Amino acid sequence: MMDVTPYSCKTKAELAREYEKELAHFEACKAKKLKLNMARGKPATAQLDLVSGLLTVLADPKDCYDGAIDARNYGELAGLPCARAYWADMLACRPEEVFVGGCSSLSLMYDVIARAYSHGLLHSPRPWCREEKVKFLCPSPGYDRHFTITASFGFELVPVAMTPEGPDMDQVESLVKDPSVKGIWCVPKYSNPDGFLYSDETVRRFAKLTPAAPDFTIMWDNAYCVHEFEGEYVPFLDLIALCREAGRPDMVIEFASTSKITFAGGGMSCIAASTDNIDYLMKLFSVQMISYDKVNQLRHVRYLKDKAHTIALMKRQAEIVRPKFHVVFDSLEREIDPLGFSHWNRPTGGYFISFYTLPGTAKRALALCKEAGVTMTGAGAAFPYGIDPEDSNIRIAPSLPPVKELEEAMEVFCTCVKLAALEKMLDPS
């Protein structure tokens, strides 16, 4: 029978005994010479196989037309009309508010920030490279690659607390009074890594922001817009329309892709924004390229059809993803929860679980995992500059390994988290 007394209720001698027990378990895990990976949110092979009809959907040259437009030729920088209509359906905005890109939304985000830096955005008084200081708000924990983009241009990353309702809007409303604050990173649905859904109130408060910087931009990364693995599709508000109604139509630029619907890094990405923003960005992008890969856009639209069909497909993806999340939830609930030193959110969509262990022990726990052959996202990765002030947050990405490997990996993970916590409790110095 497992001892489920919280660590805080144990005497030092009892903790020491627990430590010896977990250490023996850790050594046994190590002896298995495992090589397991829960580091990044990659779809599993079974998920990719599920959508591999995409490879043959355009079988004949006659299939390569969107109306009179030949997808194989140059042109239509904003994307094929059918692809713009697809994303407008997906994101509940208008086709003219959509720019369809290549295979990565992250690269579109990078391009927008790079253009802001080199040329400025629609309402910029000057390019951001000519600003004395540029600050960017980073709800934390958040997506490490967002933070890295803005850090790479030398912007100051300003952490904002995350809540189950989204970023702390009191903090956001106060910080945007500073004219050097030029934008914020947001993942409004199944936030990476916590899996939180921004509440309607949070979204409405975003639309009503009155930032000091005229070119303040909400980078609205809707990467997980249809990515429920449990329950029914959850609709979300169209921030583009809300900003328009609130009199700041150009304050938001939204992004999405099919990276976790079809092929990761081989899907179809888009920007959605006001038509003025789209026109402005197109002018800048037209210097860089003639047009994106419209054959890929066309085969995606032919394969995915529309939002209703995509959601039906995501239900099938969910059948593969859900058991893996359950392995993690069950392990944490069984092995860690009763011990009383940690907490986590139980998301119903997205790709991650954000686990908060005993403060001051996340790095140590992950070093132990590595020693035992389990690779995780680095501790602190979800915070600006890779520094978690509490050294507590660990991002778990369960999608890639098969269930059996995941069970093994979670056994190692739970042991390492306990060991690191026990070390700290026995020697808090």
Residues lying near ligand PLP in the complex (CB under 6 A): 41, 104-106, 143, 187, 192, 221, 223, 257, 259, 265, 269
Report the C-alpha gap between 144 and 138 in whole angstroms. 10
Tell me which DSSP letter residue 40 carries.
Answer: S
Tell me which DSSP letter residue 400 carries.
Answer: S
The nearer residue to ligand PLP, 257 or 274, going by C-beta atoms, is 257
DSSP H stretches of helix in 68-161: 81-91, 105-118, 144-152
From the CB of 377, what's the least distance to ligand PLP, in Å?
11
The nearer residue to ligand PLP, 186 or 369, going by C-beta atoms, is 186
From the CB of 224, what's the least distance to ligand PLP, in Å?
7
For residues 336, 340, 341 and 344, what is the CA-based torsion angle, rounded to 10 degrees? 60
From the CB of 100, what's the least distance to ligand PLP, in Å?
12
204 SS3 class: helix
From the CB of 402, what's the least distance to ligand PLP, in Å?
20
The nearer residue to ligand PLP, 228 or 335, going by C-beta atoms, is 228
104 SS3 class: coil
For residues 221, 225, 230 and 232, what is the CA-based torsion angle, rounded to 10 degrees? 150
From the CB of 122, what's the least distance to ligand PLP, in Å?
23
Residue 328: CB partners within 8 Å, gap ≥ 6? Answer: 353, 396, 398, 406, 410
The nearer residue to ligand PLP, 106 or 137, going by C-beta atoms, is 106
Tokens of 113: 């920030």
Residue 414: CB partners within 8 Å, gap ≥ 6? Answer: 331, 332, 335, 336
From the CB of 405, what's the least distance to ligand PLP, in Å?
20
The nearer residue to ligand PLP, 100 or 417, going by C-beta atoms, is 100
The nearer residue to ligand PLP, 95 or 350, going by C-beta atoms, is 350
The nearer residue to ligand PLP, 143 or 216, going by C-beta atoms, is 143
Which residue(s) pair with 158 in the sheet?
A: 137
From the CB of 107, what's the least distance to ligand PLP, in Å?
6
From the CB of 105, what's the least distance to ligand PLP, in Å?
3
From the CB of 301, what's the least distance to ligand PLP, in Å?
17
The nearer residue to ligand PLP, 223 or 318, going by C-beta atoms, is 223
The nearer residue to ligand PLP, 75 or 265, going by C-beta atoms, is 265
Report the C-alpha gap between 217 and 410 in whole angstroms. 39
**Other CB atoms closer than 10 Å to residue 81's CB: what's the count?**
16
Residue owning tokens 């809300």 = 242
Nearest residue to 352 via CA among 147, 209, 142: 142
The nearer residue to ligand PLP, 257 or 361, going by C-beta atoms, is 257
Report the C-alpha gap between 91 and 102 in whole angstroms. 17
The nearer residue to ligand PLP, 192 or 331, going by C-beta atoms, is 192
Q: Are 106 and 145 in contact (CB under 8 A)?
A: yes
From the CB of 328, what's the least distance to ligand PLP, in Å?
17
Q: What angle do CA 395, 341, 424 make, to 5 degrees?
A: 90
Name the residue type at position 344.
W
Pairing of strands 343-344, 353-356: antiparallel
Phi and psi at residue 372, to the nearest 5°: -95, 10
Report the C-alpha gap between 56 and 209 in whole angstroms. 46
From the CB of 344, what's the least distance to ligand PLP, in Å?
18
Nearest residue to 262 via CA among 340, 210, 314, 202: 314
Report the C-alpha gap between 269 and 222 in whole angstroms. 11
